[in-house]
Amino acid sequence: MSFLSTQSESLKNMFIQRHDKNPAKKPAVAAADLRRPYDATLILLSLALLFIGLVIVTSASMPVADRLFNNPFHFAIRHGIYIVLALITAMVVMQIPMRWWRMTNVWLLLLAIVLLIAVLIIGRSVNGSTRWLVLGPITIQAAEPAKLFFFCYLAGYLVRRYEEVTENIRGFIKPLIVFFALAFLLLLQPDLGTVVVMLCTTVGLLFLAGAKLWQFFGLAITGSLAVIMLIVFEEYRMKRITSFLDPWADPFGSGYQLTQSLMAYGRGDILGQGLGNSLQKLEYLPEAHTDFIMAILAEEFGFAGVLIVLVLMFTIVFKAMRMGNLALRKERPFDGYLAYSIGIWFSLQTAVNVGASAGILPTKGLTFPLLSYGGSSMIIMAIAVAILIRIDFELRVDGIQAMNKGFAAKGQKKTAAQSDSRLSEAKSSVKQVMDKLANRESKLKTAGGLDD
């Protein structure tokens, strides 16, 4: 029947028109954020330090490389290889989710302990210190990965035992027992500088995690007394302290390295002598391309060059601390504590390196992060920066997902309300049409039959 067919088609069209709508478009802000998934500024700052380090190491190492290897670019080539390896390693680490670091931090700590024990058994000694594991052409300074792995463990411990750390003394002491075990192995090398950096980072991280103030001060005082005792009862460390306090008392003996470094700083003045024009690198200043790289930078680029490098490092540290704060606010405590520890670690190691070469602190064999010569240090520091980039990436992705979920929930609510309204309207329309059909059928029956 044409009438019923027409009405059925009308009902079908009505439902299609009212309920077969295109889904709402997703918010454009998510696509805009996904264009910049990484912190480009952090990457550029790190690359700038690597490039400056390559230039300064090349300049500072040429005289000693020419004498030892008859090749002035020997250390520069090796440093360039270290930078390439560091960049490749960093790119690999950036693909590892933070969940992996959180799940494996205990195993990483055990690996650090194994490396520190192995270096005491089969390690190579240089200048009276046994700090290096030799694996064919590869030389590993075990203390460098030990620092990173311990900080990963400490961040994981604070997540697992947060209430214990903040409420009772046992939770506060447990990570210190692990630290003292690592410190004992490091002091057997001996490597007091690394122990001091790890101690200060541990104290700072426990303080930021919310440890009670008396616990914080107790640990700081105990640690300071322990370091003082280690210095007093070791003759060569005591000589370093006395030479640091008055290097000019023995300028050709215990104070020789520091006096030469101070001369480099003095010659640098404001703008420096120019790239390649350093005199102290002509083997007057020992270890010019490693521990005292900042002295050569100060001589060739002056106060301006030193200030630029320190600003670059300060910005990286500031970003790490801000990233840690943001991670804690977004309920990612492991990421937050690890970012805090990397920021404190970088700042302390920079302060010790620059302070030692400028005569502000006693001489310690610690590198300037991302700048000094050294493969193990370079690669581990690059891994630390890659972890920061990964933390930032996951924070951004979480923000985008949360935003999308919020918009989706909002859209679903709105769509559900609209659907209910449309459904009631559709039911009303169908009822009206069906009533019309029933009335029409009734009239036709009364008239004597149905027409085609």
Taking only the tens place, the pLDDT of each residue in 103-133 is 999 999 999 999 889 888 887 776 667 777 8
Q: Cα separations (Å) of 97 from 312, 386, 392?
A: 27, 11, 11
Share above pLDDT 90 across residues of the chain, in percent, rounded to a whole number = 27
Between 446 and 153, residue with greater pLDDT: 153
User: Tell me: the pLDDT tens digits for 16-40?
Assistant: 544 454 444 444 434 444 456 778 8
pLDDT bin (cut points 50, 70, 90) of residue 139 is: confident
Q: Specify whether the CB–CB gap between 95 and 387 falls below 8 A.
A: no
Between 236 and 26, residue with greater pLDDT: 236
pLDDT bin (cut points 50, 70, 90) of residue 350 is: very high
pLDDT at 412: 52
pLDDT value at 390 more than 70: yes
pLDDT at 158: 87
Query: Which of 26-35, 171-180, 304-313, 390-399 is predicted most confidently?
Result: 304-313
User: Tell me: the pLDDT tens digits for 309-339?
Assistant: 999 999 999 999 999 999 999 889 999 999 9
pLDDT bin (cut points 50, 70, 90) of residue 341 is: very high
For the chain, the average pLDDT equals 79
Q: Give me the long-range contacts of 184-189 (CB less than 8 A, separation at least 24).
A: 185/113, 185/116, 185/117, 185/120, 186/116, 186/143, 186/146, 187/230, 188/120, 189/119, 189/120, 189/123, 189/129, 189/130, 189/131, 189/143
pLDDT at 430: 61
Between 388 and 256, residue with greater pLDDT: 388
Which of 234, 254, 236, 235 lies closest to 244 in space, CA to CA? 254
pLDDT at 402: 47
The predicted model gives 46-52 an average pLDDT of: 93
Distance separating alpha carbons of residues 412 and 399, to the nearest angstrom = 20
Listed by start position, the domains of the chain span 37-393
pLDDT at 210: 75
Following CA atoms 254, 126, 370, 320 in sequence, which dihedral angle do they give, to the nearest 10 degrees? -90
The predicted model gives 428-439 an average pLDDT of: 68
pLDDT at 399: 53
pLDDT value at 172 more than 80: no
Tell whether omega for the bond before 190 is within 30 degrees of 0, i.e. cis: yes
pLDDT at 386: 94
Query: Which of 43-57, 189-203, 215-229, 422-436 is predicted most confidently?
Result: 43-57
The predicted model gives 394-414 an average pLDDT of: 58
The predicted model gives 70-77 an average pLDDT of: 90
Q: Cα separations (Å) of 256 from 161, 264, 284, 287, 307?
A: 48, 13, 9, 12, 26
User: Tell me: the pLDDT tens digits for 176-220?
Assistant: 888 888 888 888 887 778 888 888 888 888 888 777 777 777 777
Question: What pTM did the predictor assign?
Answer: 0.78
User: Tell me: the pLDDT tens digits for 442-452?
Assistant: 666 666 544 44
pLDDT at 450: 44
User: Tell me: the pLDDT tens digits for 243-271?
Assistant: 667 777 777 777 788 888 889 898 888 88
